[in-house]
Structure 1
Amino acid sequence: MAVMNVSTPLMGLETDVAARAVRGTRLSRAPRAVLRQGVIGYAAALAVTWYLAHRHFALPLSWQAGVVGLVAIWLLYSFAALRAFERARSFKPAIRFVEILGLASFGFVLGDAPNTELVRQAAVAVAAAPVVLSLSAVLHRQLLRRTPTILVGQVESVRRLESRWAKRKDVNVVATCSWRSPHELAPVGAVSDDGLAEVVREVLAAVVQRQATSVVIASGRALSTPALRHLAWALQRAEVECLVVADMSDHVEFLRPRRVGDQIALSLRAPNDHLMSLALKSVLDRVTAAVLLLVLSPLLLLIAVLIRLGSRGPAIFKQERSGQDGRPFTIWKFRTMVVDAEKRLPSLRKRNEGAGPLFKLTNDPRVTRFGRVLRSTSIDELPQLVNVLRGEMSLVGPRPALPSETSQYSEWVWRRLHVKPGLTGLWQVSGRSSLSWEESIRMDLQYVNNWNLRLDLAILARTVRAVLARDGAL
């Protein structure tokens, strides 16, 4: 990690610093640039169309020219319309092409066009282009799923991002370049010519050496500081994507760029304020819970009997939890501990392995033998379907917290109570008990601030895999 002190007045950036790095970068990065920008996929789409029209179907010359010309014009337009870093993995050209083909086919039907073999063959040749583009997008998403990235910025911000992205599958931090300063890069008049040139040299040298395709600037003043704007211009000349992180100190908000007047602003509007989506989520929760309770009733009855036979006490454990907006409700679970578990808790506090207000103990002596089986398979959570049916919980949402926990919440952590707690959630499918308190809270806030129905379906699918793998279960 390169660490620089930033202090003296900024006068400008020697352009040859970037120019010398760019000359070497373009030559070494040309093959990867072809791959990243999807040139191969676009060329393959045109080649397949030409092959079908000319060789396979042997269409008349005028039809060949029309088919290949139509596809070529569309591919050129799509290539020019999309940003360089989106071309390879985007499904937009294929989707738009299919829409146009659908309208054209509808027009043929309305016009009572003859359904000749010639028309059918031409349609197949044209339709091959979006199919090839779609396959190319899928392939590129696999090949480019981990982006070699360089982090640039104030040392604390860089370290925080590097730690957070360490286990991600879509970002690969290959180098960092940071500085120490009480005020990051202060306004104009705070960075020397030599210091700024050194920043550019460090980053561009790392880009060439590490074959990075993305540079992320983690600085709160990135959009207003000349130093980092010069760096962004140098990266643009080197054909490297430059991104600025909206660092909100772990507050994972739903951000959407908007133009306000002649300025770019970030909208923090929550995505879960759509009444229809919320109503549909509520209906799906209750219908699914009712069906599952009906289908699983023999299994639930059997488990209840086994719990009663295994240890003294009721089969169902009921406990007060904090629901949406902090409203208390009684949660239902299969009992996995001895009856006097709550009374034994104070004597175990000193052995607590959890962070924050959470109590966690890997080998908790209060858990019964059959209870360990229920916990490891997450079957003990199934009675919560009753809470979902009653509208107190949702299938997907933050973990239902104890009142003793929520009483210790800070104002920003209280945000996780703005939605119903869930039977499963983002934190459960991302490590469950192996996550720290801070990580689980961040996962819950990420869900609350970015909720949509598609995310719920993805979490439910990942829940099945997590349960089967017993990921993070105690």
Structure 2
Amino acid sequence: MAVPTQRRTIRKQPSAGRRTGKPIWYAWAAVLGDAAGAAVPMYLAFALTDRSNVTAYATVATAAWLLVRGARNRYAERRLGERDNVGPALQDWLVLLGLLAVVRAATGEESPFLVALTALVPCAPTSALVHTLIRRHLVTRRRAGRAVRRALVIGEPNAVDSLVSHLAKRTDHEFVIVGVCPIGDRDPQALTPVAARLGRQAPPRMSADSAPVLEAARRLSVDVVLVAPGPYMAGTRLRQLSWALHNEECPLVVVPGLTEVSGRRVSVFSVAGLTMLNVAPPLRRGLAALLKAVTDRLGAVLLIVLLAPVFTAVALAVRLDSPGPIVHQQTRIGRGGQPFTMTKFRSMVADAERLRHQLAATNEQDGRMFKVRRDPRITRVGRVLRRYSLDELPQLFNVVRGHMSLVGPRPPLPDEVAGYDEVELRRLAVKPGLTGLWQVSGRSDLSWNETIALDLRYVDNWSPFGDLGVLVRTVRAVVTGTGAY
């Protein structure tokens, strides 16, 4: 009788000096940050109002906040540091309010409602701040080659090249490609070494197909296998490969080839035994779009009122600095290709448009935008205005009139749009914004392709919480002035 052999896992011994997991203190920092964000404001709020049972109020609020966050899986290792936490924190905060409202009604609690509500406000921003700091630390570790997962890529050469090059463009993700298994005789162009090779047709024996993959995975001590499916790696063959990998306790990730699609738009379902990927269309209508329109106008009006002294000071500085109008008006292209007149504080000499043609050869942008770091047309006051984006404040009136949004792609010039291809024209599917991913990600320091990629990411994946995150990041971008010239 044959003696059963002991099953071997892909990684019996971790590679020396290599750590793929996240530090345990990430979870503790997240929990303690949430606890402090709930307990301290609640305790102080009720202590200052001379209420009794201050400790009880703080304890209940803290327990409820940690319960909500834990129930929504915010402390799981797979999620810590993987994304900005502004949207999830706000969602959890709304759930917290509902939970405490039910507790308040059930117990007949009569504490001051406004005091309690005010004390709960810091919960969301404190949580978002802690998770943002964790993410920054995680990105730093990953750039140093730590807290990553060693990955083996399987697919046809073109698909392998596309996947490897896409992952190589960024260093903030969890995968480091250590080998590839191309399907067919042709080698991929990626510089990653070929660890094994599979035939185009599935062999009659399952082990003959999976054996080279498993051997490569063991030899390279991989943590995960990424598969780019195609005509020669799909259906039964892919399923059998997953059996072999899972028997060795190695995860399998199928990469469908979609890029820049938010996870909230994607869902998996099964029909007749087939696994299908549903990609929902971007938000364009409905309550969310109405909320954006109302928020844009109300927010713009509020900012105009609050910043009235700044408007006055900037207008006076522009008038005293150089001859010409205080406000510069320029035709820009809005949603659907409709032109509109955009208003800005003048930051250049009065005849800047005429001088632009003389500076065409000095353009430092690699695409359709015109940008010169040391533009001689910019006035002394104009450099300060651009450094802190004060020249863009009059665009708030464009937001009130409905031409622009608080958040959106950069409003392009007509001559820029005239040269757009079909892909670039998609950025006109939404209103241009006073701020956006371009402004908070480097502005003029970005290449044209990076600018288009950011704009299309916004167009395809817009959400109210995403807008709020951009607005929060805008404050930092304005203060630092990165890429502003």
Q: If the TM-score is normalised by the length of the shorter chain, which range does it land in?
A: 0.5 to 0.7
| Corresponding residue of 2:122 | none
| Corresponding residue of 1:159 | 164
Contact 2:436 2:470 in 1 (8 A): yes
Q: What is the one-letter code of the residue matched to 1:173?
A: F
Normalization by structure 1: what TM-score? 0.67
SS in 1 for 2:368: coil
Contact 2:409 2:431 in 1 (8 A): yes
| Corresponding residue of 1:261 | 271
| Corresponding residue of 1:340 | 351
Q: What is the one-letter code of the residue matched to 1:451?
A: W
1:175-190 correspondence runs (5 A): 175-178=177-180, 188-189=201-202
Contact 2:227 2:255 in 1 (8 A): yes
Shift, 1:242, TM fit = 2.9
> Quick check: 1:317 aligned with 2:328?
yes
Contact 2:261 2:460 in 1 (8 A): no
Please, which of 197, 203, 214 is the counterpart of residue 217 of structure 2? 203
Contact 1:218 1:247 in 2 (8 A): yes
Please, which of 15, 19, 34 is the counterpart of residue 8 of structure 2? 19
Q: What is the one-letter code of the residue matched to 1:178?
A: V
Shift, 1:435, TM fit = 1.2
Shift, 1:327, TM fit = 0.8
**Which structure would you say has the larger RCO, counting Cα contacts within 8 Å and 6 or more residues apart?**
1
Q: What's the CA shift string for 1:291-330, capped at 9, x where partnerless?
A: 1111212221221221122122111111111101111111
Shift, 1:158, TM fit = 3.3
Shift, 1:459, TM fit = 0.5
> Quick check: 1:272 aligned with 2:283?
yes
CA distance in 2, matches of 1:177, 1:334: 54
Decide whether aligned partners of structure 1 residues 404 and 465 sit closer, same or farther in structure 2, where only a CA change above 3 A counts. Answer: same
Please, which of 417, 431, 452 is the counterpart of residue 441 of structure 1? 452
Decide whether aligned partners of structure 1 residues 331 and 194 sit closer, same or farther in structure 2, where only a CA change above 3 A counts. Answer: same
Shift, 1:162, TM fit = 2.4
CA distance in 2, matches of 1:368, 1:149: 51
Q: What is the one-letter code of the residue matched to 1:177?
A: G
Please, which of 356, 379, 383 is the counterpart of residue 372 of structure 1? 383
Q: What is the one-letter code of the residue matched to 1:242?
A: L
> Quick check: 1:246 aligned with 2:256?
yes
1:30-429 correspondence runs (5 A): 148-151=148-151, 152-153=153-154, 154-166=159-171, 168=172, 171-178=173-180, 188-189=201-202, 197-207=211-221, 212=223, 214-220=224-230, 224=234, 229=239, 232-248=242-258, 255-259=265-269, 261-262=271-272, 263-429=274-440
CA distance in 2, matches of 1:17, 1:175: 29
CA distance in 2, matches of 1:98, 1:282: 25
SS in 2 for 1:329: strand
> Quick check: 1:456 aligned with 2:436?
no
Contact 1:289 1:389 in 2 (8 A): yes
Decide whether aligned partners of structure 1 residues 177 and 345 sit closer, same or farther in structure 2, where only a CA change above 3 A counts. Answer: same
CA distance in 2, matches of 1:391, 1:31: 49
CA distance in 2, matches of 1:275, 1:346: 44
CA distance in 1, matches of 2:133, 2:358: 56
Q: What's the CA shift string for 1:225-259, capped at 9, x where partnerless?
A: 66655554454345444322232466779741242
SS in 2 for 1:265: strand
Which of the pair has more CA radius of gyration? 1
Contact 1:18 1:200 in 2 (8 A): no
Decide whether aligned partners of structure 1 residues 302 and 173 sit closer, same or farther in structure 2, where only a CA change above 3 A counts. Answer: same
Q: What is the one-letter code of the residue matched to 2:180?
A: S
CA distance in 1, matches of 2:260, 2:96: 40
Shift, 1:372, TM fit = 1.2
Contact 1:353 1:359 in 2 (8 A): yes
Contact 2:327 2:343 in 1 (8 A): yes
Shift, 1:220, TM fit = 4.6
SS in 2 for 1:348: helix
CA distance in 2, matches of 1:157, 1:404: 32
Q: What is the one-letter code of the residue matched to 2:178?
A: T
Shift, 1:19, TM fit = 3.4
Contact 2:181 2:213 in 1 (8 A): no
Provide the alpha-carbon RMSD of the alignment. 4.8
Q: What's the CA shift string for 1:179-203, capped at 9, x where partnerless?
A: 5666987853499987864443333
CA distance in 2, matches of 1:183, 1:160: 15
SS in 2 for 1:395: strand
Shift, 1:97, TM fit = 12
350-359 or 327-336: which moved more? 350-359
CA distance in 1, matches of 2:132, 2:437: 27
CA distance in 1, matches of 2:354, 2:20: 67
User: What is the count of residue pairs matched by the alignment?
Assistant: 393
| Corresponding residue of 1:129 | none
CA distance in 2, matches of 1:336, 1:87: 44
Q: What's the CA shift string for 1:97-156, capped at 9, x where partnerless?
A: 9999998997788xxxxxxxxxxxxxxxxxxxxxxxx9xx97997697765133414442
> Quick check: 1:471 aligned with 2:471?
no
Normalization by structure 2: what TM-score? 0.66
| Corresponding residue of 1:70 | none
CA distance in 2, matches of 1:217, 1:103: 47
Decide whether aligned partners of structure 1 residues 420 and 469 sit closer, same or farther in structure 2, where only a CA change above 3 A counts. Answer: same
Shift, 1:391, TM fit = 0.7
